[in-house]
A and B are shown apart, each in its own frame.
Chain A
């Protein structure tokens, strides 16, 4: 049964790589270009998944069990995590799938992210992290606070996101979008060459995110998609050798790595790429802060931003807001205000 995690992870890694689904990019674009196209795609995943999750809950397949909201740790952790993903060049899943594309910077970010997740959850930093997460309020979900049925929120979210998606689909750029020339046909073209639309990719990821719930539940891991916990489990397993730590989530993240590798290799997009010195240092520090931030916040862009939000958890939505603010701060510091953007185009001599 644990193998369903591997299968789902492979499908997820494949879809994310081919669809260029990057949550860091979605948050960063807000501050960099003001574009909400990828954020809309991300919200589609949340909205569709919320309908699926509450349907599964109503059918008794899963039972949502909201926890008290650790507000202070969530706010601090989410800001740190949002800041860190700009440094690392990808969020938790983004780092996994870029690692599968052969980016050595993402390998480093991934290693330090997993290591510092373990340190923060069960290691040297676990005491302060647990103390901060002990500061809670009784409220745990938005529908709980409002005293309404979660379906009111599902309908409101699906409607709002639907309108936003329609707005983007109607807005056409002034010139047609250019695609790479096709070299293959049939199923191979569809899987490894054709450009996947942002919203199509979002719908595929939403379907996988819904499917994750019952599959994970069946193995005793009672939650949906998650990245930080499994990453921490891998480190703990490697150093302690306790096979109990290998759960559905561990298979899931290994699957993401495999799936993105297959997608990248099949489409000629895999190459081992070494980062320069600045990118190397940023990847390492980004990974460290991602591990600490996600452990404090109780989740990453996926666990909190995409999954807890779909259950209308306060932790998920507060986290989403503060991750976006953190991303904005790092974008100002390291991208728009960066001295690196000094590149001048080189003129090609006319006689060439």
Chain B
């Protein structure tokens, strides 16, 4: 089980979502992907994307003003 990070700060929606979708295909089952993002709309889009694809969210929090991090597990 490996940990991966994906940096999307500075990218406007829907790029964090599109990139997360592309990135997770490169992971093995059980691997975790931590996505940093600063597009407000992705606070709605990313958890929903994870839930709809059956990826458990192991961590989701604010990092600073208009900055967030979410970690999903490929399942």
Contact = CB atoms under 8 A, between A and B. Distances in A.
Contact of B18 (A89, A174, A335, A350): A335
A105 B23 contact: no
Contacts of A177: 47-48, 51
Given A20-B40, A20-B41, A270-B65, A275 B10 contact: yes
Interface in A63-108: 89, 98, 101-103, 105
A178 interface: yes
B14 A32 contact: yes
A345 B4 contact: yes
Contacts of A336: 18
A274 B11 CA distance: 10
A25 B38 CA distance: 16
Interface in B4-20: 4-8, 10-15, 18-19
A195 B44 contact: yes
Contacts of A178: 47, 50-51, 57, 60, 70
B59 to A, nearest CB: 9
Contact of B56 (A17, A105, A175): A175
A32 B45 CA distance: 12
Contacts of B52: 173-174
Contacts of B3: 347-348, 352
A147 interface: no
Main secondary structure of the interface of A (DSSP, over half): loop
Interface in A183-204: 195, 198
A149 interface: no
Interface string A316-352: 0000000000000000000110001101111110101
A21 B5 CA distance: 28
B62 A180 contact: yes
A237 B12 CA distance: 32
Given A178-B51, A268-B62, A343 B14 contact: no
B2 A350 contact: yes
Nearest to B13: A25
Interface in A255-292: 264, 268-271, 273-276, 279
A22 interface: yes
A167 to B, nearest CB: 15
B12 to A, nearest CB: 4
B23 A344 contact: yes
Contacts of A273: 10, 38, 66
Interface in B24-55: 24, 26-27, 33-34, 38, 40-41, 43-45, 47-48, 50-52, 54-55
A29 B65 CA distance: 27
B40 A269 contact: yes
Contact of B2 (A28, A279, A348): A348
A178 B70 CA distance: 10
A176 B65 contact: no
B36 to A, nearest CB: 11
Interface string A19-33: 010100100110010
A335 B56 CA distance: 26
A181 interface: yes
Given A98-B40, A264-B66, A343-B8, 11 more contacts: A17-B40, A101-B40, A178-B51, A180-B62, A181-B61, A271-B66, A273-B10, A279-B12, A340-B15, A341-B18, A348-B4
